[in-house]
Each structure stands twice: as structure tokens, then as C-alpha cells.
């Protein structure tokens, strides 16, 4: 069977992208090294909360979407999109191994069939400028014996997923595209034009890579700013949330960002440091990025201190106290717990002798991960009155409407989540 495109990596980026192309009439092959994901798709089920199962089953049953772990099947695809993780290693340096392994896996199958058109490879994973035209290109050329821009097309188009946002539709989000050559760009535009309404072409793969980093650095720096102001204003008796609501009424020159217990998700805590690392190669330091990182990384310590202060009001020490943490996902109403600050809070609280349980309606159990493997297997508990303190880390909708009035222990709210009418007597913001 012939496919219009293959998508490597069927996670929070790859799966919705695959479904959008399939809905647009394309034949899509989804590839993932996780056989569990492949089986779920074959059965017409979704493993991501905000993606309805009927969206998956509809495209599978129509024959437009097939999943597999056999990467040799890309030989039957006209294009290959790479949507794999780009984490930081233990030294907070870029880890592009998933990109390079994907390149190695598909390289032997890049030669166009007799009479067929040149294959297109597009990287969507967020990374530093130069990854596509240097690192990935080298892997593809070495493994195939072909030349990028001559024997096959190569491009970069950054993902712009916003999980859990009902207004975020893949087809509606403008797509930045940069090609290795003008011909590569045109081929990438032709492909994405089948599924995305508006394309934003740029001059090179590096410009496209830099665009994605700028978007996430902008968010990281501004979140750090409001996190710092939250602490300063709080010491003055000023409510940062009230200030933000007032400031955002200005119709120009202001964009609202909100504080929290730290940064989460696979993008904002990680992506800016890809540029920090690459900038050193050119003799530059990224002072804003690094300062923002320091402020955002310190927020869990601020929350732990607030928890200790709240417990002191009822005469209890942090050591030995039982804490119920509400929200393990990194943002509201999703099941995505990657890089969630809740994990840091659990670890820091337990390091000080507290006992921590968590409740999250969307994350029933902690899955194995590289960063927090020692927490794997813990399960969500019910909201109850057995804890010595309740800590809200994620503003899930059920928490916003929950009536905490009868709670007889301190409630520490890091998200301004609880409505004023539902706040208990012992209510603290952090």
C-alpha cells in the first residue's frame, strides 16, 4: 500500500497531526517504537485524553490511518515527518538522539522508486538551529548514500500543539516551514497545504528552528517575570492575580502571563536551553534565558516554604505531616505529566519528611519516566479530609468548582484556582 506520508512518533504531537492529515484525505502511516500505542490505534482507541477515540477509529476504519513499528514501511511513503522527543540530558544539554535514531532508521529507504517522486523528510521536533541541515542531514546522507536537496527533499516545520485547548485545532494553527533548498520548501508547502489552512514559509530550516525557540523563550521569560513579581507583590500584601486581571484590560502593549509552582510540559522548561547550549558555540551567553530558568526552577522551593508556613498556623511541622497534592499533570485538564512541577514538589516535600499523596482525575497512576522513575506506580487517591494540608498544583476544572468550605486543614493554592466562594478559612496562596 502507498502512503502520502509517514509520521514517526505518535505522541502529543504526532497523533493529532496524523489524524488531521487523514481527515484531509491523505493516507497516513503512523510509526512508533511503542507497540502499546500501535495496538491502541489498531483497536481504534485513543491514549491521549483530549483526542476522542472516535477520531482515531474513524480514520482507521476508513483505511486512511495505519499504525506500525516497522520503519521499513517508509519506503512506501512519499514523505516522512519526524515528531520525536528532544529532552535535555542529566547535564541539561540537548539530547537529539531520538532524532538521529529516526534518521538512521529511515535512511535506507529514502531512494525514490523508479519513476517516483523524490521523498520528503521533515523534522518537527523542537531543537537548536542547525539540527536539520547539519545533524539530521548527515545521518540521512550517510545511511542512504544520497544527497539532501538533490536526491531527496529536507525541511523543518515546528510543531505548535497546545494540548487541552479546545480552540487549538491543528488545521487552524499557522504552520511555519523552512526548506534546505527552495525546491525542498515548495515540496513541504505542497504537503502541509493538504491539511493546514495557512502556511508561513521562511528562508531556511535554521530560521524555522529559531522561530520555534523564540516562541518558547518568550513564554519562559515572561512566566519568570510574573513568578518573580508574585513573590515581591506578595511580601507587600498585593495580590498578583488581581494585578494581572487589571493590567490585561490595557488594549495595547501588554499580554497576560500567569504565575505557578514551576514550569511544566515538554517545551517551556527545556527548549530555551537548546539555544543556550548552541549559543556557546558562537561565543555568546543567554543571560535572559538563564535568569528565567533560575527563577522558574526556584518556584517549587517557594511553594514548599509556603506549605511550611501554612502548617505552622495550625501548630504542625512539615516533617511527618501528610500532604494531599491536587494535580499531577503540568497544565489544566490534560493527562500530560511531562516535566510537571508537581513531581518536584513531591520530591522536595518528601525530602523534608512529609508524606505526600496525590489526586488527579486524568493521571490515575504515575508512569515510568527517566526523571522520576522512583515514583512510578503510585496511584491517585480520592480527595478526603485525612491530610494535614491540601496543596493545589494544577488548576483542573473539577478543582475550581470543588467546595472546600468544610476543609478543616490549610489549603495552599498555587494557581488561584479555588473560587472565593469555595475557599476555606485556612486558605493560602503560593
Which residues are part of the catalytic machinery? 267
- What pairing do the DSSP bridges indicate for beta strands 427-429 and 5-8? unpaired
The DSSP output letter for 25 is: T
Longest dimension (CA), the chain: 79
Q: Are 276 and 286 in contact (CB under 8 A)?
A: yes
For residue 228, how many C-alpha atoms fall within 13 Å in the half-sphere facing its CB?
11
Grid coordinates in use for 331? 497544565
Sign of the CA dihedral running 222, 226, 227, 228: positive
Using DSSP's 3-state secondary structure scheme, residue 232 falls into helix
The order of strands in the sheet holding 355-359 is 355-359, 322-326, 389-392, 411-413, 427-429
Phi, psi of 117 (to 5 degrees): -85, 160
Of 201, 192, 149, which is closest to residue 4 (Cα–Cα)? 192
Amino acid at each position: 500500500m502507498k502512503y502520502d506520508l509517514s509520521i514517526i512518533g505518535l505522541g502529543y504531537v504526532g497523533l493529532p497531526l496524523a489524524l488531521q492529515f487523514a481527515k484531509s484525505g491523505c493516507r497516513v502511516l503512523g510509526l512508533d517504537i511503542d507497540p502499546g500505542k500501535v495496538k491502541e490505534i489498531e483497536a481504534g482507541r485513543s491514549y491521549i485524553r483530549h483526542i476522542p477515540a472516535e477520531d482515531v477509529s474513524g480514520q482507521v476504519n476508513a483505511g486512511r490511518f495505519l499504525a506500525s513499528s516497522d520503519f521499513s514501511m517508509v519506503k512506501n511513503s512519499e514523505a516522512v515527518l519526524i515528531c520525536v522527543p528532544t529532552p535535555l540530558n542529566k547535564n541539561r544539554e540537548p539530547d537529539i538522539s531520538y532524532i538521529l535514531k529516526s534518521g538512521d532508521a529511515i535512511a535506507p529507504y529514502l531512494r525514490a522508486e523508479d519513476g517516483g517522486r523524490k521523498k520528503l523528510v521533515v523534522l518537527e521536533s523542537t531543537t537548536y538551529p542547525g539540527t536539520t541541515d547539519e545533524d539530521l542531514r548527515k545521518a540521512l546522507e550517510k545511511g542512504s548514500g544520497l544527497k539532501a536537496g538533490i536526491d531527496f527533499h529536507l525541511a523543518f516545520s515546528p510543531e505548535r500543539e497546545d494540548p487541552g485547548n479546545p480552540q487549538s485545532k491543528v488545521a487552524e494553527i499557522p504552520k511555519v516551514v523552512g526548506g534546505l533548498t527552495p525546491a525542498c520548501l515548495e515540496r513541504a508547502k505542497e504537503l502541509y497545504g493538504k491539511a493546514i489552512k495557512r502556511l508561513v514559509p521562511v528562508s531556511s530550516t535554521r530560521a524555522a528552528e529559531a522561530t520555534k525557540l523564540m516562541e518558547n523563550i518568550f513564554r519562559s521569560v515572561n512566566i519568570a517575570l510574573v513568578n518573580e513579581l508574585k513573590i515581591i507583590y506578595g511580601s507587600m500584601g498585593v495580590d498578583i492575580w488581581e494585578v494581572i486581571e487589571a493590567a490585561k484590560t490595557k488594549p495595547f502593549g501588554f499580554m497576560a502571563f500567569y504565575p505557578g509552582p514551576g514550569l511544566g510540559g515538554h517545551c517551556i522548561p527545556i527548549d530555551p536551553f537548546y539555544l543556550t547550549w548552541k549559543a556557546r558555540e558562537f561565543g555568546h551567553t543567554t543571560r535572559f534565558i538563564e535568569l528565567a530558568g533560575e527563577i522558574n526552577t526556584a518556584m517549587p522551593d517557594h511553594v514548599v516554604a509556603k506549605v511550611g508556613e501554612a502548617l505552622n498556623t495550625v501548630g504542625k511541622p512539615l516533617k511527618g505531616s501528610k500532604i494531599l497534592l491536587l494535580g499531577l499533570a503540568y497544565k489544566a485538564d490534560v493527562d500530560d505529566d511531562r516535566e510537571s512541577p508537581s513531581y518536584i514538589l513531591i520530591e522536595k516535600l518528601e525530602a523534608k519528611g512529609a508524606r505526600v499523596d496525590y489526586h488527579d482525575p486524568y493521571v490515575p497512576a504515575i508512569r515510568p519516566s527517566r526523571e522520576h522513575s522512583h515514583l512510578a506506580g503510585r496511584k491517585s487517591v480520592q480527595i478526603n479530609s485525612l491530610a494535614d494540608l491540601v496543596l493545589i498544583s494544577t488548576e483542573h476544572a473539577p478543582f475550581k468548582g470543588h467546595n472546600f468550605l468544610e476543609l478543616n486543614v490549610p489549603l495552599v493554592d498555587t494557581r488561584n484556582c479555588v473560587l472565593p466562594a469555595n475557599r476555606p478559612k485556612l486558605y493560602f496562596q503560593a
